[in-house]
Structure 1
Amino acid sequence: MYTAKDFSSLLGTPGFSETLLKNHFGLYEGYVKNTNALEEKLSVMAKEEAFGTPEYNEIKRRFGWEWNGMKLHELYFANMKKGGAALDPNSPLGQKIVAGWGSLDGWAKDFKATGALRG
């Protein structure tokens, strides 16, 4: 059983509206709830040895989607910092980004466009 972590300390982080963060906290909590529900269904189906049935297969696939959504939100939130410093373009990471996207700004534009994709 997974428990949603409290990331409310991130409210007030510069560059992130309270509405945006609260919406994502809600999405994250939904992923945790769905992961738990699917894990419970899979446990029952395993006891019934329903492996390989269309229902089992679909629930197993969906479990991966929900679990990944839960974990990716946890990793993202865990890496956020209030008052964090801007990335130094001369740091090892900054140099890799500049090599791949031409500039930090080029990377930021691509990153934001990717984040705006549906689905």
Structure 2
Amino acid sequence: MNPYTEQKFNIPELKGISKKQIEEHLKLYAGYVKHTNLIWTKLQEMMQDSEKNAYALGEVLRRLGFEFDGMRNHEYYFSSLEGGSTAVSDGAFKKQIEKQFGSFDGWLNMFKAIAMTRGIGWAILYYDPKTKQLLNAWIDEQHLGQLNGLPMVLGIDMWEHSYLGDYVASEKKKYVEAFFANINWSVIEENFKVAAR
């Protein structure tokens, strides 16, 4: 199996999210890539004697979802900040949002409210190709509650590691506002187009 490689992101100076915060956050992302590869390597070794290693295999497999989803979630997160902030275009993504939620601002307020869920995790916007609908969701940790088989369009990391370098815990809402002020919506439009194919 080919190892996963750490992606490099072209993230400009952001408003309300410091360069130091992004640098530290990227180190955590690198850890998810490293540990995803480590788990795959260990699984291949352990499968040589799956009967002997049955219990350990089960435990390592349980850990895989956390590390792999942590890697993928962060790739969507950081890619949405690449290239600098842009306005939302009147493209297919915005039209779908308006069709489903009435208005872009109404959806955005709902999504921000989901991001304020107590605990650690992610607010994620998925696309369901079967129903041709966007779905807002809260994911505990990196993996608990992921919507099976649905492509991700947008995600905001709500673990404290994503904002405590710039904000105290009680200022989580300021971080959410800063994240959305820095999104490159053309990336989100492209994510939607790929998901809706």
TM bin (shorter chain): 0.7 to 0.9
Does 2:67 match 1:63?
no
Decide whether the 8 Å contact of 1:97 with 1:103 is kept in 2: yes
Could you state the TM-score of these two structures normalised by the residue count of structure 2? 0.49
1:71 CA displacement? 2.1
State the AA in 2 paired with 1:81: E
Larger radius of gyration: 1
Q: Which segments of structure 1 move beyond 4 Å, counting only runs of 4 or more?
A: none
2:96 is aligned to: 96
Segments of 5+ residues of structure 1 without an aligned counterpart are: none
2:6 is aligned to: 4
Segments of 5+ residues of structure 2 without an aligned counterpart are: 121-140, 142-197
Cα distance in 2, alignment partners of residues 40 and 112 from structure 1: 38
Could you state the TM-score of these two structures normalised by the residue count of structure 1? 0.74
Alignment of 1:1-119 (within 5 A): 1-7=3-9, 9-14=10-15, 16-50=17-51, 53-88=54-89, 90-117=90-117, 118=120, 119=141
Bigger strand share: 2
Decide whether the 8 Å contact of 2:97 with 2:107 is kept in 1: yes
Bigger helix share: 1
- For the aligned residues, what is the CA RMSD? 2.6
State the AA in 1 paired with 2:7: K
Q: Secondary structure at the match of 2:6?
A: coil
Residues 52 and 44 of structure 1: is their aligned pair in 2 closer, same or farther, counting only changes over 3 Å? closer
